[in-house]
Amino acid sequence: MSTNMGSIDRLVRAFVVAPAAIVVAVVVGAGSVAGIILFALAAVMLATSAVGFCPLYKLIGLDTRSLHRPRPEPR
């Protein structure tokens, strides 16, 4: 399994999306269906951020890593 997530994507998931999902889950009620779904979403965001691989990205063929292209050799 190779990585398919760039560093900015990983940071946004870990420090923006997951905490926001947790806060909203607490606001709507941690034991409610919506709260449980939001906690699960936050867990998935944190796990994929830690690993650097998103199965959904693989499914749709998306790769957010920056591509380093070699410089052309001087003639």
pLDDT tens per residue, range 12-53: 999 999 999 999 999 999 999 999 999 999 999 999 999 999
Evaluate whether 57 touches 5 at the Cβ level (below 8 Å): yes
Which residues, in sequence order, are CB contacts of 34 under 8 Å at separation 6+? 25, 28
Round to whole Å and give the CA distance between 73 and 75. 6
Q: What does pTM read for this prediction?
A: 0.81
Q: Name the DSSP letter for residue 4.
A: -
